Amino acid sequence: MEKKDSQIPNTEQTKEQQWLAFRSELRDLRTKILKKLAQINDKQILNQYFQREAEFVDRLRVTGMETETVLAWHVLAQGGTSYTSSPILDFPGEYSVKKFFQSALDKINQSN
């Protein structure tokens, strides 16, 4: 049986949809972190988070990895980008922004 054109997935559209979903997920994580920090209202915890974030950004910069093509970099920097400009979702392994946000949120939740 031959597939109709409408049944053949457009992989570029699928990739862009994945990109949009990942961007939304990262932004939601960052928003949860900031809301939790505001609720806690503890300057020491707030300063610790932003210090860890600054150190994480510095670690990414010194790796020599191309940051401008990575969506997660732009979310971390609170900047805008497009799928065509930054098609890579996140950095690998220990440099993953998603893992950094998740770990930070876990630490903030534990300190509360």
Q: Domains of the chain: which residue ranges?
A: 13-111
Cα–chain-centroid distance for residue 52? 15
Query: In this predicted structure, what is the pLDDT of residue 11?
Result: 67
pTM above 0.75, yes or no: yes
How confident is residue 13, by pLDDT bands cut at 50, 70 and 90? Answer: low
* Per-residue model confidence as pLDDT tens digits over 38-61: 998 888 989 999 999 999 999 999
Tokens of 6: 């409408």
Local structure of 103: helix, strand or coil: helix
The Cα–Cα gap between 43 and 54 comes to 16
